């Protein structure tokens, strides 16, 4: 289909990027399970390798099934292009790689997915990059953290694990002022609930493992480019603005304009880092996205019901869901995620560590797993799992203290979820 601006989200989530297969008429996007693609002739091959013509060469770089998914996610996010890769963590490296270099830093939110905190505080140091963590509610702290070596600001739209909402308009204005891109992890919100590019984000990253696929089957990631950043405005982004030796001195920004970042992501990022999404994974994710809006509406409806019930229960100290009027982030919902605050939040359980362990062991519908954004309801007690190597002080700073359980509300019957929590809380606090 030709995606005109008149098509709504529900139409685009099914049709964007997909067209009947020209060879067979297959209506669903086929899984192009092929490593390589035949060149028409030697001139065609040369044009492809010179980036003078766009086409399929080898599946580490491009694959038709993956390309359909890239176009679909880019369309739903309102971007000009997207690069899919093997996981959400791969997407974060793919987003930062063209921007960063030894001695350079990213200013990142202190409220991020636990794995991202580890990737940014430990692993990227091996590349000579560093991260400065700040509270993104505090505009002055964000401004103060940016220095002449900062090349990106990074935050989550709806932050893991507490479901806190970031004021993206405020943060993008600060990044603009400093002349650097804002990268937003939109995994917990999805483009149905939040469209970061409309709030000034330059790049949007996803773990497609979560809500976009939605059924807990495959890992994947995606980087969407808004196409709005001028990489050649100064000399801060030489990978995009300066001649690229691996392509006879081609300058990505000059040659590809708004698509510079996307072309760089494929021609350099996937070619040389090789964090490629496979076509099977792309197929599962394409199928998942077809029902994204229906699932997200139900996720939100259930999260509102379950969090409201939990908040009133005296076995619970507090609930962090931004969709509750009691949340300090509730006032940001109409502006940042008008269709709802997602379905991810934490609860503080009276009785601390031991009660939390009993709770996760007594639940029957909820599964205790290190995942979120599934159709199934999921919980995790971070202090005894993902955050167990940290001190209690570090756990508390990360919103994952010993008394905290993270909940990802699924799309089952809300009454069944409440009954399950009720019986498990009874055992946990007996
Ligand atoms: C899961 C997750 C990631 C990492 O994604 P993977 O696909 O597991 O690599 C990054 N950010 C957020 C918000 C996540 O929930």
pLDDT mean over 325-337: 97
Return all residues near 134 (Cβ < 8 A) that are at least 6 apart: 107, 108, 109, 110, 141, 142, 145
At the topology level, CATH places domain 292-428 in: 3.90.1150
Atom 4, ligand 1: which residue's CA is nearest?
A: 88
- On the question of pLDDT at 126 being above 80, the answer is yes
- Among 146-155, 385-394, 408-417, the range scoring the smallest mean pLDDT is 385-394
Q: Of 186, 170, 191, 232, which is closest to residue 76 (Cα–Cα)?
A: 191
Residue 196: CB within 6 Å of ligand 1? no
- Residue 180 DSSP label: -
Residue 221: CB within 6 Å of ligand 1? yes
Atom 2, ligand 1: which residue's CA is nearest?
A: 207
Please state the atom number of ligand 1 nearest to the C-alpha of residue 92. Answer: 10
Residue 88: CB within 6 Å of ligand 1? yes
List, in sequence order, the alpha helices (H) in 249-320.
Answer: 252-256, 260-264, 271-273, 279-289, 292-312
- Measured in Å, residue 208 CA sits from the centre of ligand 1 at 8
- On the question of pLDDT at 370 being above 90, the answer is no
- Measured in Å, residue 235 CA sits from the centre of ligand 1 at 31
- Among 136-150, 235-249, 276-290, the range scoring the smallest mean pLDDT is 235-249
**In terms of CATH architecture, what is 9-99+181-288?**
3-Layer(aba) Sandwich (3.40)
pLDDT mean over 22-27: 93
* pLDDT (0 to 100) of residue 248: 87
- On the question of pLDDT at 146 being above 70, the answer is yes
Q: Can you read off the two tokens belonging to residue 174?
A: 């600060």
Residue 222: CB within 6 Å of ligand 1? no
Residue 276: CB within 6 Å of ligand 1? no
- On the question of pLDDT at 4 being above 70, the answer is no
Q: Can you read off the two tokens belonging to residue 193?
A: 């609930």
pLDDT mean over 364-371: 94
The pLDDT mean for the chain works out to 95
* pLDDT (0 to 100) of residue 52: 87
Helices (H) and strands (E) in the chain, counts: 18, 14
- Measured in Å, residue 32 CA sits from the centre of ligand 1 at 26
- On the question of pLDDT at 3 being above 70, the answer is no
Testing ligand 1's pocket by substitution, the residue of 88, 114, 165 carrying the most ligand atoms inside 8 A of its CB is: 88
pTM of the model: 0.96
Confidence of residue 5 (pLDDT cuts 50, 70, 90): low
**How many residues belong to the chain?**
430
Atom 1, ligand 1: which residue's CA is nearest?
A: 207
- Measured in Å, residue 339 CA sits from the centre of ligand 1 at 22
Residue 187: CB within 6 Å of ligand 1? yes
Residue 209: CB within 6 Å of ligand 1? yes
- On the question of pLDDT at 220 being above 60, the answer is yes
- On the question of pLDDT at 232 being above 90, the answer is yes
Residue 89: CB within 6 Å of ligand 1? yes
- Domain locations in the chain as residue ranges: 9-99+181-288, 292-428
- Among 23-27, 91-95, 145-149, 197-201, the range scoring the smallest mean pLDDT is 23-27
- Measured in Å, residue 371 CA sits from the centre of ligand 1 at 9
- Measured in Å, residue 292 CA sits from the centre of ligand 1 at 18
For residues 333 and 339, give the distance between their C-alpha atoms in angstroms, rounded to a whole number: 8
Testing ligand 1's pocket by substitution, the residue of 73, 155, 187, 190 carrying the most ligand atoms inside 8 A of its CB is: 187
- Measured in Å, residue 408 CA sits from the centre of ligand 1 at 14
pLDDT mean over 369-391: 89
Angle ∠(26,29,35) on CA atoms, nearest 5: 105
User: Tens of pLDDT along 233-269?
Assistant: 999 999 999 999 988 899 999 999 999 999 999 999 9
Residue 226: CB within 6 Å of ligand 1? no
More confident residue, 226 or 5: 226
Confidence of residue 392 (pLDDT cuts 50, 70, 90): confident
Angle ∠(43,49,50) on CA atoms, nearest 5: 90
- Residue 345 DSSP label: E
For residues 187 and 196, give the distance between their C-alpha atoms in angstroms, rounded to a whole number: 11
For residues 168 and 155, give the distance between their C-alpha atoms in angstroms, rounded to a whole number: 9
Q: Can you read off the two tokens belonging to residue 156?
A: 């989550």
Q: Can you read off the two tokens belonging to residue 250?
A: 């081609």
For residues 243 and 202, give the distance between their C-alpha atoms in angstroms, rounded to a whole number: 22
Return all residues near 205 (Cβ < 8 A) that are at least 6 apart: 88, 91, 92, 95, 183, 184, 185, 186, 187, 221, 222, 223, 224
Residue 113: CB within 6 Å of ligand 1? yes
- Measured in Å, residue 49 CA sits from the centre of ligand 1 at 33
Atom 8, ligand 1: which residue's CA is nearest?
A: 88
C-alpha of 237 from chain center: 23
- Measured in Å, residue 388 CA sits from the centre of ligand 1 at 19
Confidence of residue 357 (pLDDT cuts 50, 70, 90): very high
User: Tens of pLDDT along 46-63?
Assistant: 888 888 888 999 999 999
* Residue 234: Cβ-neighbour burial (10 angstroms; 0-12, 13-18, 19+): exposed
- On the question of pLDDT at 389 being above 90, the answer is no
φ, ψ dihedrals at 428, nearest 5°: -65, -35
């Amino acid at each position: 289909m030709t995606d005109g601006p008149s098509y709504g989200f529900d139409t685009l989530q099914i049709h964007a990027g997909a067209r009947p297969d020209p060879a067979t008429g297959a209506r669903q996007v086929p899984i192009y399970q092929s490593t390589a693609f035949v060149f028409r002739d030697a001139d065609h091959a040369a044009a492809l390798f010179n980036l003078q013509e766009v086409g399929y060469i080898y599946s580490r770089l491009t694959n038709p099934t993956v390309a359909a998914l890239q176009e679909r996610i880019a369309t739903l996010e309102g971007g000009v292009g997207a690069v899919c890769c093997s996981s959400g963590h791969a997407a974060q490296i793919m987003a930062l790689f063209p921007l960063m270099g030894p001695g350079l830093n990213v200013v990142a939110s202190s409220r991020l997915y636990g794995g991202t905190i580890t990737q940014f505080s430990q692993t990227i140091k091996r590349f000579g990059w560093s991260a400065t963590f700040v509270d993104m509610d505090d505009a002055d702290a964000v401004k103060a953290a940016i220095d002449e070596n900062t090349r990106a600001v990074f935050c989550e739209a709806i932050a893991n694990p507490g479901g806190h909402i970031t004021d993206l308009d405020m943060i993008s204005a600060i990044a603009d002022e400093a002349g650097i891109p804002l990268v937003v992890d939109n995994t917990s919100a999805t483009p149905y609930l939040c469209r970061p590019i409309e709030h000034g984000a330059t790049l949007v990253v996803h773990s497609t493992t979560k809500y976009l696929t939605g059924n807990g089957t495959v890992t994947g990631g995606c980087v969407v480019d808004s196409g709005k950043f001028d990489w050649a405005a100064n000399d801060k982004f030489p990978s995009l603005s300066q001649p690229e030796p691996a392509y006879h001195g081609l300058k990505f920004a000059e040659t590809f304009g708004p698509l510079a970042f996307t072309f760089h992501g494929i021609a350099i990022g996937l070619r040389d880092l090789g964090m490629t999404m496979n076509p099977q994974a792309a197929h599962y994710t394409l199928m998942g996205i077809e029902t994204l809006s229906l699932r997200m509406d139900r996720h939100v409806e259930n999260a509102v019901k379950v969090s409201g019930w939990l908040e009133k229960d005296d076995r619970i100290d507090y609930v962090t869901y931004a969709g509750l009027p009691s949340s300090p982030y509730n006032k940001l919902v109409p502006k940042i995620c008008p269709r709802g605050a997602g379905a991810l939040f934490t609860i503080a359980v009276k009785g601390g560590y031991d009660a939390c362990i009993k709770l996760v062991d007594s639940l029957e519908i909820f599964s205790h797993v290190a995942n979120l954004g599934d159709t199934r309801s999921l919980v995790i007690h971070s202090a005894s799992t993902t955050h167990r190597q940290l001190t209690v002080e570090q756990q508390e700073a990360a919103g994952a203290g010993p008394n905290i359980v993270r909940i990802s509300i699924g799309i089952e019957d809300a009454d069944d979820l409440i009954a399950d929590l009720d019986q498990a809380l009874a055992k946990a606090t007996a």
